[in-house]
Structures are given as C-alpha cells and as structure tokens.
Chain A
Amino acid sequence: MIPTQLQRSGSGSTQSPRSPSSQEPFLSVSVIDPAKMGNGVQAYISYKVITKTNLPDYQGPEKIVIRRYSDFVWLRDRLFEKYKGIFIPPLPEKSTVEKFRFTAEFIEMRRQALDIFVNRIASHHILQQSEDLRIFLQADEQTMERARSQEIGIFKKKPADLMQIFKDVQSKVSDVVLGKEKPVEESTPEYEKLKRYIFELEDHLAEAQKHAYRLVKRHRELGQSLSEFGKAVKLLGTCEDNALGKVFSEVGDKAEIVSVKMQREAHHLLMNFEESLKDYVRAVQSIKATIAERANAFKQQCELAETIKFKEIDLNKLRLTRSEKLADAEREYDVLKADGEEATRRFEAIVQLMNEEIVRFQEQKTLDMGLAFHEFAKGQAHLANGIAEAWRSLLPKLEACASS
C-alpha cells in the first residue's frame, strides 16, 4: 500500500509518479512488501524499495532493490556524518522486545516509518543529492552489504574521540594554570532558548505520545469488553421468552458489531495519530543529535583558537630569541591557522544550516501534525457515528417489543 505520506512529504522538487515524462526532475520512492527472510535468530524482514525518477545519475525510470532495516541505519548514519547541521529524518527504533518483532502490526508500523524516512530524504533539497542516497536506492544487494559492513563502527566510535579527550584534559589543565575559565559552549540567548525549547519539547511530546498509545489500548480494551458483554447478554436472552429473548439477542449482536468498530479505530489511531506523535518525538531527538554535533564543532573551533593563541605566544618568543626552531614553528602555525579557519567554517556552516532547518522543521511539523489531528478527529467522529447508528437501529425493535 502506498501511503499518503508519500505525497504529503513531497516538496516542490517531486511530482506525482504518474507523470514520468514531464521535464521537471523528480524522485519518488516507496517502501513496500515486507517479507520475512531466514529462520530463527537470524531471521529478519526485507523490504522492497521502489525508485521512480528521471534524474540523470539514477537508473530510470524505475528501479527496485531489496533492503533491510540495517541498510536504512547505514544511510542515516552516513547522512549524519556528512551533513552536519541538517536535521536528518529519524528512523523507527530497533525493536527491543523479541516477541513483537514479527507481529503484523509492528511490521506495518516500521514499513510506514521507513517509507516516510526515505521520502523525507528524497525531498530535502540538499540531502537528495547525496551519493549515499543513490547507493542506497540503486546499488545491488551485494554492494549494499559490503558498504554496510564497512561502515559499522565508524559512527559509533571515532578514533578522533580519543584525541579529543586528551585535548580536553590539556585545555583544562592550562585553564587552571592560566587561571582562566573558558566557556566551551555557545551562549547566545537565541541559541540557549532553542536548546531549552528542544529539550522541553521532547518531554511534552513524549507525554502526549504516551497517552496516545494508552488511548489505543483503551479502545482495544473497550472493544473486548463490549464483545464479552454482548455474548453474555445473548445467553441471558435464551432464558427469556420469545420477544424479549430476541431483543436480548439483537442487543448482543450489536455489541459485537460495535466491538469490531472499536478495534478498527484502535488500529487507525495507532497508525495515524500515535505514530505521528512518535515520529515527532524522534524528529526532536534527531535535532538533539544535531545540537550535539554543533556543540562539538563549536568546541573544536574554540580549542583550536586557543591553541593558535598559545602558538602565537610561542612564535613571538622564538622571534625574540631568533631560534632555529622559528621556521618550523611558523610552518606549524600556518597549518594551525588553516585548521582554525576550517573549524570556524565548519561551525558556521552548521549554524547556517540549522537556522534554515529550524524554519523548515517548524513548518513541516505544523503540516504533519495538522494532518495527524485531522485523521485523529476524523477517525473518532467516524467511530462515534458508527456507534450511534448501530444502537439507534435497535430502538424500533425495542419499541415493538415493549408495546406488544
């Protein structure tokens, strides 16, 4: 099933897949057909990823590849590495409870989320140009597997981290020695506000999502108890005479019908509303990761700036003493200067991107949630109308029995 999200998350650069012959460049993707592969502990779900495009780098007009969850993770990690400052679309979580890994509901929820994920990437004006995306959408399965196994570990542990820790200790020591407290974090008021906003937003959203999930459960429970009630009512009807007994039986049947409606709405609520809230939470978490990257970049810039300052002091000392080490020191200084500029560039790029991304994010979320609210309200209204109609249809029979 091709979800509506496909079209929804499309921005100006994609068009309906029904018009492949148009001149406008388009890239549309869908993730469908989950299939269980393998057995036992090794078992996993594979998905068909269909790409329809007229972009020159891609094998058009249509290409189908088979991908699994870890392939999507690879793509996300690569994008996160390369496009710092951009809010990378979130992935559905790894399933923690073994029992549910292969339930139909879980598989469908995951497929929907993966589809949204890829489409968001495909419709982001920067991300859609990524080489990694092309590989993901086009490469054959062996190539994909090779790429995937190479990259495991890079995202998790950077060798640079160790250097970073070393530098941290260094700078802290020198701070103490020099008697200075250097702030290692950005502290502009706007940025502080943004950070606070993001962190608080996550809490609020998580709470709303929790209740939304509970609401799904409550629908199921009410449906279940209505069904049991209906059965009991029918049995009671067998103890009564003809007319009254029949009425009981009809009431019992209706209760069962209403029960089915409740189960349906529970599923609809889960897939459309609760998942949207969950997606929102994940998006905010992704932003937090980007914030961490920004903080990292800022710290690097600061530390380099400091190192450069010390180097300058050293240089001046060397100049005064006309040491032979001066030439080497000057060369090192130039390298440092270049690194410093690079770090600053990187940091500023992140800031720039983030500013754009925030605007885009807020707008997108308003659209996403607007639709989610609409689906929620529509589903509830549909359910309520169905229930009212079902019960009302019984009233004439009741009246007939009462008057007889």
Chain B
Amino acid sequence: MMGYESHQGLEQAHLYASKEEMESLVLNDDAAAAVPPHPLSSSPPLAQIPTNHDSDTDPLRSSPSPLLHPQSQTQNPDPHSFILEPPSYADAVFRSFDASSEINGHDLSTSSPSPSSSSYSSSDFLKISVSDPQKEQDLATSLVPGGTSYFTYLIITRTNIPEFNGTEFSVRRRFRDVVTLSDRLSEAYRGFIIPIRPDKSVVESQVMQTQDFVEQRRAALEKYLRRLAKHPAIRRSEELRLFLESQGKLPLMKPTDVASRMLDGAVKLPKQLFGGEVVAGVVDVNEVAQPAKGGKDLLRLFKELKQSVTNDWGATKPALVEEDKEFMERKDKLQELEQQLSNVSQQAEELVKAQQDIGETVGQLGLALVKLTKFETEEAVYDSQRVRAADMKNVATAAVKASRLYRELNSQTVKHLDKLHEYLGVMLAVNNAFSDRSNALLTVQTLVSELSSLNSRIEKLEVASSKIFGGDRARIRKIEELRETVRATEDAKTCAIAEYKRIKENNRNELDRLDRERREDFLSMLKGFIVNQAGYAEKMASVWETVAEETSGYVKRTS
C-alpha cells in the first residue's frame, strides 16, 4: 500500500512545516530578554527531527512478519489450550479461527507486546506494553501520616523508529503523566483524530477493589498507548517519544502550565488585546492564535463566547464561514454512523449474552445427564438400564463439549465485535477533531471582530483629534498605542487563519484515513465474526453427529 506510505509522508511533512512555521515566528519575536522555551519540549528544538523518514533501508522491515503472525507459525499448542481442560476433551481444544492473527490482548504475558492490527504496511514498528503496577509514596506528603500514594506502571517499548534513542527501553509512569501526555497531544495535534485517553474515573476507584481497579487501568493504559502508536502522525511525535523514553520525571508540562509560565510577569494576554502595554517577545503569538482556555484567558474566553453568540444570532456576519459543503456532508454522515454504531454495539452485547446463556444451559443439561448416568449405572439391576446409561453418557459428554465450544465462540465473538465499541470511541475523537476546527474558526472570527472594533476606535479618535488645533497629544498617543495593538492583532489574525486552514487540512486527511481504516477494520471484523460462527458451528455439528450416529439404532424400530 504505497499510497498510504506516501500519504503518511505527506502528513508528516505537513506537520513539520507547521512546526517550522511556529519555530520561525518565535524567533521573530525574539527581540527581548527571555526566549520562551518551545512549548513542545524543554530540550533542544525540533530541528533534529528529519523531515523525511527513509523507510526503504529499514533492516527490520521483515521482522514484523514473525512478530505479526507468531501464532499461525506455531501450529500447536494453541495459546488458549491451557484454559481448556485436559486430554479427554482434547478434540474440544481449538486454535483461533482468525486468519488475521490478532492475539487476545491481555491473555498473554504483557512482556511480549502484541502487534496491532491493520496498519502493518509500513516497515517500522512501535510496540508498547504496560505492566507491573507498583505502589509508590507521594514524596511531598510521605512524612505526613496518612500521606498519599499512587501507582506507577512499567512501560516497555520496542521499536526501530530512528527518532528514539534505542530499540528497547522502559520507563515508569503514573496516570497523571498519561493525562499530561494526552493534553499535550490535544494541543499539538489539533484537527487530528486523536485516541481518547482512559477515564480518570474517580468514583470507580473508590468502589472497586484496588487490585481490580489497578489491573483495569493497566489494561486501559496499554490499549491507549498502543492506539497512539498506531496513529501515523502521533507515533512520530516528540510528546510520545519523551513519554516512552525519558527516564525519571516526565519532561512534558501540562499545557496550562506553559501558558502561565509564558504569561508571568507584566504581560497579560487580554491586556495585549485591549491595547495595554505591548511588551514584545514575551508572548508567543501562536498562543494568541489558539482558542482561549484556562483561567489566564478568561477575558478572551468571554470575547469568544460573545463572538459565537453574535455568530449564532447573525447580528454580525462572520468573516469566515464554514462553507465547505463536502465537509458538512461528511460530518452528517459520520453522525448517522455514530448512531448506528451505538445501536449495533448494543445488539452485539445482547447477542454475546444470549450466546453465553445457551452455552451455560447446555452445560448444565450435560451435568444433569452425567449425574443421571452415574445414578443409573450404580443402581442398575437390568441390562436395559446399563445400555441407557451408556447412551446418556454420550449425550452428556457431547453437551459438555458443546458448552465449551459456546464459551470459546463467545470469547472470540467479543474480541471481534469489540471493534464496534472501539469505533464508538473513535467517533468521540472525531468530534474532538471537529471541535478543534470550529474553535479555530471562532478564534479567527473573534480576532477579526476585535480588529474591526479597534479600527473603529482609531477612526473615532482620529476624527476627534483632528478637530483640535495643533493636535491632541493624549489622543495621538492613544492612537499610536491602538495602532500597535492593531499590528499585533493583525499578526495574530494571520496566524489564526493559517492555523484554521491547517486544522481543516488535518481534518480532511484524518477523515480520509478514518474511512480507509474503518473499511479495513470493519471488513476484518465481519470476516472474523463469520469465520468464528461457521467454524464453531462445524465443530459442534461434528460432536452431535457422532452421538446421532451412536444412537441411530433406535430409529430402525420405526418403519
């Protein structure tokens, strides 16, 4: 799938282009004292990252193969055989029927991370596993009785991506670090369909047993990181790299921390917008170009809210309108898809429950027949009883086998149909990507309306000033200040428009990617589901056919 790879390269180039843009803008404002550290890392800038990934010379290209299909290579024993009972049910032991050998997530040891499916056309790999939760004391409170503690998780990465400093390494991270990573990615990858991070779920952690909760969280973290590793752009990100690689404390800061550091001191963002003292260079214009968030941008938040209300009521025609018809159509279609996905997901749950129930019941019938068999055998006075007991035993054994088959079938069904549930999560991420877009648009609209109001103030002042002979020193000074603000705001507007365009492009590419991957994933899901249903049905047929054969003698009595 060469098209995919080249597209991937295109995405990366795009990403880097925009980063370079930001880089250069920062340098432009670099007139005064403190050069703000780049929001993306505290270590040397991004220049080190090559703009093109050379995939052809990757020596590890062939290696994903055995890693991809380890189970199909080793025919026996089935990795699940230890779950099933020993020899007398040997014929009830089956390999997974899947052609694609997706391995059951956490059934296997977590030290050997399993490959993720579908996007294995590229030659590089990034395998992550999360394991070994450990309780640690919060140093800040450790001396205080009843000090808080938290869990850390061992994150082991295996990769051949050159950006990483190594091929196998591990770090310890706590959940808070994951939240930071997630927030930073949301910041850096606006417009992208970014996997949603696991919930904080404070309530659950109080209700569940710690062990269960920690295990659930471990599994969720692993899933999340693997999804990040699958994303063609994010797997190349600095944020992820630092998260996976940097020993010790996570060198990523929460986004609001960055903003507050930058806005320390004299300059407040709102002040700048309102024509306060312009102290150049301290503020990253691109911060301004972002939608307002957090306490620091409170005033701007109000402005944006006012703008969005204005937009809705149509009092002022917004400068830029969402005119992309294709986008609107796509959005509507995706909303419909989300609804149907939710419906199918629910029905899938019912189906799984029904499969589980029938398996249980046929097993119980089998056990009841086993008891009957034992009883008849022990109490047998006549041969006819012994014959009956033997017949019953066959049926009982078959029923118990069938019960195991249903259980196996069901665990496979869950595995496949879980894709539906996964995509519901993806739809949430899609909505976030759409929000990024509409927020960016709103920012542009806000800045445009700011500009217009600033300009009209200047005009008014000029008119007033011109009436005074010799000029009005106060007013003239005011006008100068306003003009400075206008210039800064113009720059911000330019950035904001560029940002909006960038996000639109991200949206488009990501939606294309979504369509492609979804098609592939759904087809593989359906295939897996169908292959399983058919395969297990065939096994069950064979079990029952044996019994039918063994009891066929009884039919001869009828003419």
Structural contact, A374 and B354, CB atoms closer than 8 A = no
In the bound assembly, the distance between CA atoms of A235 and B343 in angstroms comes to 9
Structural contact, B344 and A233, CB atoms closer than 8 A = yes
Structural contact, A236 and B340, CB atoms closer than 8 A = yes
Q: Does B219 contact A (CB under 8 A)?
A: no
In the bound assembly, the distance between CA atoms of A193 and B380 in angstroms comes to 11
Give the interface segment out of A42-50, A112-120, A340-348, A361-369.
A361-369
Q: Does A218 contact B (CB under 8 A)?
A: yes
Residues of B within 8 A of A401 (CB): 523
Central interface residue in B369, B375, B554, by most chain A CB within 10 Å: B554
Known: A371-B555, A374-B548, A380-B540. A395 touches B530 (CB 8 A): yes
Residues of B within 8 A of A235 (CB): 340, 343-344
Q: Does B361 contact A (CB under 8 A)?
A: yes
Structural contact, B522 and A218, CB atoms closer than 8 A = no
Structural contact, A388 and B537, CB atoms closer than 8 A = yes
- In chain B between 520 and 559, which residues have their CB closer than 8 angstroms to a CB of chain A? 522-524, 526-527, 529-531, 533-535, 537-538, 540-541, 544-545, 547-548, 551-555, 557-559
Structural contact, A244 and B344, CB atoms closer than 8 A = no
Q: Does B392 contact A (CB under 8 A)?
A: yes
Q: Does B391 contact A (CB under 8 A)?
A: yes
Interface size on A, residues (CB 8 A): 68
Q: Does B54 contact A (CB under 8 A)?
A: no
Contact pattern, A 350-372, Cβ under 8 Å of B = 1, otherwise 0: 00000000110011011101110
Structural contact, A387 and B388, CB atoms closer than 8 A = no
Structural contact, A208 and B365, CB atoms closer than 8 A = yes
Q: Does B398 contact A (CB under 8 A)?
A: yes
Q: Does B82 contact A (CB under 8 A)?
A: no
In the bound assembly, the distance between CA atoms of A162 and B287 in angstroms comes to 103
Residues of B within 8 A of A232 (CB): 340, 343-344, 346-347
Structural contact, A374 and B523, CB atoms closer than 8 A = no
Q: Does B384 contact A (CB under 8 A)?
A: yes
Give the interface segment out of A33-41, A103-111, A134-142, A219-227.
A219-227
In the bound assembly, the distance between CA atoms of A197 and B404 in angstroms comes to 32
Structural contact, B551 and A370, CB atoms closer than 8 A = yes
Q: Does A289 contact B (CB under 8 A)?
A: no
Central interface residue in B372, B402, B552, by most chain A CB within 10 Å: B372
In the bound assembly, the distance between CA atoms of A232 and B342 in angstroms comes to 9
- In chain A between 197 and 244, which residues have their CB closer than 8 angstroms to a CB of chain B? 197, 200-201, 204-205, 207-208, 210-212, 214-215, 218-219, 221-222, 224-226, 228-229, 231-233, 235-236, 238-241, 244
By beta carbon, the residue of chain A nearest B333 is A239
Residues of B within 8 A of A102 (CB): none
Residues of B within 8 A of A366 (CB): 384-385, 387-388, 391
Q: How far is the CB of A91 from chain B (nearest CB, A)?
A: 23
CB within 8 A of A384: which of B333, B519, B540, B558?
B540
In the bound assembly, the distance between CA atoms of A235 and B362 in angstroms comes to 32
Interface size on B, residues (CB 8 A): 67
In the bound assembly, the distance between CA atoms of A197 and B375 in angstroms comes to 9
Structural contact, A363 and B384, CB atoms closer than 8 A = yes
In the bound assembly, the distance between CA atoms of A193 and B395 in angstroms comes to 27
Residues of B within 8 A of A222 (CB): 351, 354-355, 357-358
Contact pattern, B 373-412, Cβ under 8 Å of A = 1, otherwise 0: 0010001011011011001101100100010000000000
Known: A229-B350, A377-B551, A381-B545. A211 touches B361 (CB 8 A): yes
Q: Does A8 contact B (CB under 8 A)?
A: yes
Structural contact, A4 and B523, CB atoms closer than 8 A = no
In the bound assembly, the distance between CA atoms of A363 and B344 in angstroms comes to 52
Residues of B within 8 A of A363 (CB): 382, 384
- In chain A between 158 and 198, which residues have their CB closer than 8 angstroms to a CB of chain B? 193, 197
Contact pattern, B 334-357, Cβ under 8 Å of A = 1, otherwise 0: 001100110110111011011101
Q: Does A22 contact B (CB under 8 A)?
A: no
Structural contact, A205 and B372, CB atoms closer than 8 A = yes
Q: Does A394 contact B (CB under 8 A)?
A: yes
In the bound assembly, the distance between CA atoms of A193 and B333 in angstroms comes to 74
Structural contact, A370 and B537, CB atoms closer than 8 A = no
By beta carbon, the residue of chain B nearest A391 is B534
By beta carbon, the residue of chain B nearest A380 is B544
In the bound assembly, the distance between CA atoms of A176 and B529 in angstroms comes to 77
Structural contact, A398 and B526, CB atoms closer than 8 A = yes
Structural contact, A388 and B541, CB atoms closer than 8 A = yes
Residues of B within 8 A of A208 (CB): 365, 368-369, 372
In the bound assembly, the distance between CA atoms of A125 and B347 in angstroms comes to 57
In the bound assembly, the distance between CA atoms of A398 and B392 in angstroms comes to 42
Structural contact, B340 and A238, CB atoms closer than 8 A = yes
CB within 8 A of A4: which of B365, B529, B558?
B558
By beta carbon, the residue of chain A nearest B348 is A229
Contact pattern, B 84-124, Cβ under 8 Å of A = 1, otherwise 0: 00000000000000000000000000000000000000000
Known: A239-B333, A377-B548, A391-B534. A228 touches B350 (CB 8 A): yes
In the bound assembly, the distance between CA atoms of A380 and B536 in angstroms comes to 13
Q: Does A16 contact B (CB under 8 A)?
A: yes
Residues of A within 8 A of B535 (CB): 388
Q: Does B364 contact A (CB under 8 A)?
A: yes
Structural contact, B552 and A374, CB atoms closer than 8 A = yes
By beta carbon, the residue of chain A nearest B385 is A362
Structural contact, B558 and A7, CB atoms closer than 8 A = yes
Known: A248-B526, A371-B555. A392 touches B534 (CB 8 A): yes
By beta carbon, the residue of chain A nearest B420 is A236
Q: Does A373 contact B (CB under 8 A)?
A: yes
Q: Does B371 contact A (CB under 8 A)?
A: yes
* 18 extra interface residue pairs, beta carbon distance < 8 Å, beyond A208-B372, A218-B354, A384-B541: A7-B559, A193-B379, A215-B362, A221-B357, A221-B358, A225-B347, A229-B350, A233-B344, A247-B523, A251-B529, A363-B384, A370-B554, A373-B551, A376-B547, A388-B538, A391-B537, A395-B530, A398-B526
7 residue pairs of the A-B complex, CB under 8 angstroms, read A228-B347, A232-B344, A244-B519, A248-B526, A258-B533, A376-B547, A391-B531
Sort A-B residue pairs by CB-CB distance and give the 7 closest, nearest first.
A384-B541, A370-B554, A381-B544, A377-B547, A374-B551, A388-B537, A391-B534
Residues of B within 8 A of A (CB): 333, 336-337, 340-341, 343-344, 346-348, 350-351, 353-355, 357-358, 361-362, 364-365, 368-369, 371-372, 375, 379, 381-382, 384-385, 387-388, 391-392, 394-395, 398, 402, 519, 522-524, 526-527, 529-531, 533-535, 537-538, 540-541, 544-545, 547-548, 551-555, 557-559
Residues of A within 8 A of B (CB): 4, 7-8, 16, 193, 197, 200-201, 204-205, 207-208, 210-212, 214-215, 218-219, 221-222, 224-226, 228-229, 231-233, 235-236, 238-241, 244, 247-248, 251, 258, 358-359, 362-363, 365-367, 369-371, 373-374, 376-378, 380-381, 384-385, 387-388, 391-392, 394-395, 398, 401-402
